[in-house]
Amino acid sequence: MKQKRIVIVNDGTFKASDREHYLAFCNSLKDLLERVKMLDEKRRKTDSPATIVTVVESTNEARDLAAALKVDMVIFVSAKMYSKATELQIDFPELQILNSVGRPVKNKPYLIPSELLTAEGIERMVLET
């Protein structure tokens, strides 16, 4: 298994007052992703990092990395980036594209992988939406 190359897009399409919040979120996400370890042939964790994570400031930077085949996954960190995420997915269908949303988007369905439906996540959906 090779390391997964992940790009987090902190696009800068936010209000100036939100900029530090999103940068902190991106750095926390980067830290969490960098803690993931490779699995050996028996699916046991090793000491080798499973990811190489980069935070970029624009969708264009992510697009350039995708065009150069230097990324496997792109994570957008705002619902406001959904259209850019969709465009990138259309242009690079082999990429895994994720779009994180900080709070529920009204009148839009969520696509949530079942393995992410933890007790804590379900409780937050019920109590905070």
For residue 121, give the CATH number of its domain.
3.40.50
Nearest to 81 by CA among 54, 62, 53: 62
pLDDT of residue 129: 53
> What pLDDT does residue 103 have?
65
In sequence order, what are the beta bridge partners of 52?
5
Q: Are 11 and 75 in contact (CB under 8 A)?
A: no
Dihedral over Cα of 88, 75, 68, 39: its sign: negative
Q: Give the pLDDT of residue 79.
A: 79
Smallest Cα–Cα separation from 12: which of 1, 23, 25, 27? 23
Q: What pTM, to 2 d.p., does this model score? A: 0.80
**Domain around 65:** 4-128
Is 37:82 a contact under the CB 8 Å cutoff?
no
From first to last of its 129 residues, the chain has per-residue pLDDT tens of 789 999 999 875 566 667 777 888 899 999 999 999 888 888 888 899 999 999 999 999 999 999 999 999 999 988 788 889 999 999 999 999 988 876 666 777 666 677 777 777 777 666 665
pLDDT at position 91 is 96
What is the CB neighbour count within 10 angstroms for residue 82? 14
Per-residue b/e over 96-117, b at no fewer than 16 CB within 10 Å?
A: ebebeeeeeeeeeeeeeeeeee
**Total number of domains in the chain:** 1
